[in-house]
A = this chain, B = another copy of it.
Amino acid sequence: MFKITKPTLLLDRNICIANIGKMANKALKHNVELIPHFKTHQSAQVGEWFKEAGVRAITVTSVKMAKYFAQHGWKDITIAFPVNVLEINKINELAKLVDLKIFVNSKETAAILKQQLRTPVKFYIEIDVGDGRSGVNAEDFSAIAKILEVTKDSVLEFLGFYTHAGHTYNAVSPKEVEAIFGEVLEKLRSVKRHFRKIYPNLKLALGDTPSCSIMENFIEIDSIHPGNFVFYDLVQHGIGANTFEEIAICLAVPMVAVHPERQEVVVYSGWVHQGKDSLLDVDGNNYYGVVVNLEGEKWTAPIPNAKVIKVSQEHGVIDLPSKVIDGLKIGDVLGILPVHACATAVMMGEFWTLEGERLGMMPK
């Protein structure tokens, strides 16, 4: 491994490309288009690996991110976020450059856009299938009809319905994901049945990594938009979406103190590096990552019973079995598998491949 002197986010290119390939093959097999969400990696260079896997359209979460990827050659971009009408000027600029798809979730938003959009733009109506975050309630056909009433004969072209079943993230087993996904599909199909009478070509789009990783039934779905699967992480592992071996990023962190009396070591890895996401262990205590060794040109399987138990701004405290601590010394570098890959990536702002190549991300 190349020389590491400070917290460094390692990316295993082989694992990452395999994750991309697996999802691309699954989409092909089920005859859905993979339109991956790029909010997890936010990296033009990781994006190239998707191009090599045949992906031609992407999903992002902000106008800024759409602009970044447009600058890196992407021509078909969905902004999967209730459109922020205050950014209308940037949206107008972007719509001239790429095949832009946005979310229009209310008649009020539709009215503003109809008046202020200068270029034709396609749109999804986001459907809330039970997550309770954003979108029109799946049962509220009247609200949907009102949006379509406003957008009729305008620069806004209706594409179909998009949903993010974020509540699958609370599942603790593939079986639970399956149950949630069953309800999601039923709701989406019901909306589709109702509106395809007027819009026979409307599409159904959905994106959440647990469903897209675990499920094998995508009948009537036109496109899938998962993001996290590019790296996977401990949250997804807990749901059953991936194995440890499929986690593609690892935070390398210098050890700065050894406390054998507490069975703990202190590492240079705080929430500014890894993020603040945590999981609960069997005793109900929070932990912020599992610990691996860095050996040769890669990282190892998790060290049994080794966990990050505390993070502050730049400190991390790791609980380790005594016999592991005995083999460690100040200046050693340990690895942390992330609880939430999206957060760790955002915090670090760059990746380093195991070969020592830096991969940039969208600037702040």
Contact = CB atoms under 8 A, between A and B. Distances in A.
A134 B271 CA distance: 16
Contacts of A39: 313-314
Interface in A49-66: 61-64
A85 interface: yes
A335 to B, nearest CB: 15
A117 to B, nearest CB: 14
Nearest to A311: B133
A86 B258 CA distance: 15
A256 B5 contact: no
Interface residues of A, number: 54
Interface stretch (A12-20, A27-35, A102-110, A185-193): A102-110
Contact of A83 (B5, B256, B276): B256
B86 A5 contact: yes
A275 B276 contact: yes
A314 B132 contact: no
Contacts of A240: none
A303 interface: no
A342 B311 CA distance: 14
A87 interface: yes
A275 B271 CA distance: 10
A222 B258 CA distance: 28
Contacts of A314: 39, 61-62, 81
A63 B112 CA distance: 49
- Candidate in A64, A268, A313, A331 with the most chain B CB atoms within 10 angstroms: A313
B86 A317 contact: no
B134 A315 contact: yes
Given A6-B84, A133-B266, A276-B276, A331 B254 contact: no
Contacts of A85: 256, 330-331
Contacts of A5: 84, 86-87
> Copies per complex?
2
Contact of A331 (B86, B257, B333): B86
- Candidate in A39, A63, A166, A315 with the most chain B CB atoms within 10 angstroms: A315
Contacts of A86: 4-6, 254, 331, 333
A76 interface: no
Contacts of A346: 272, 313
A343 interface: yes
A307 interface: no
Contacts of A315: 81, 133-134
A323 interface: no
10 contacts: A5-B84, A6-B86, A62-B314, A108-B330, A133-B315, A137-B261, A276-B277, A276-B343, A313-B346, A364-B364
Interface of A: 4-6, 39, 61-64, 81-87, 105-106, 108-109, 112, 132-134, 137, 166, 254, 256-258, 261-262, 266, 268, 271-272, 275-277, 310, 312-315, 317, 329-331, 333, 342-343, 346, 349-350, 364
Given A5-B84, A133-B266, 9 more contacts: A6-B84, A6-B86, A82-B266, A85-B256, A86-B333, A108-B329, A134-B256, A349-B364, A350-B364
